[in-house]
Amino acid sequence: MKLPRDVDGPRLVKALSVLSYEVTRQKGSHIRVTTQRDGENHEVIPYHHPIKTGTLSGIVKHVAAHHGITVDDLLKMLDL
């Protein structure tokens, strides 16, 4: 599945709530989200419109690896 090009920070933060990610802090234009599901994991999401594809790719790969699923399955789950 191809990464979407129009994902912004607020949309990604909301989508990650499906995997129990919650906002733990914000500093400037970056938001840190944390989950306790499958062990503790933190991600920093830029609150930009849109998120650059390389940055989005890195975040998605890291989240997928943490939860032990493929990137394609994660994208379907997040409905991005």
pLDDT tens-digit readout, 18-68: 999 999 999 999 999 999 999 999 999 999 899 999 999 999 999 999 999
Q: Which fold has domain 9-78?
A: Metal Transport, Frataxin; Chain A (3.30.920)
Label residue 1 by pLDDT band (50, 70, 90): confident
Q: What residue spans of 1-80 are helical by DSSP H?
A: 9-16, 53-67, 71-78
For Cα atoms 43, 17, 50, give the angle at the middle one, nearest 5 degrees: 65
Ordered by start, the domain boundaries in the chain are 9-78
Annotate 3-37 with b (16+ C-beta within 10 A) or e (fewer): eeeebebebbbebbeebebeeeeeeeeebebebee
- State the pLDDT at residue 54: 95
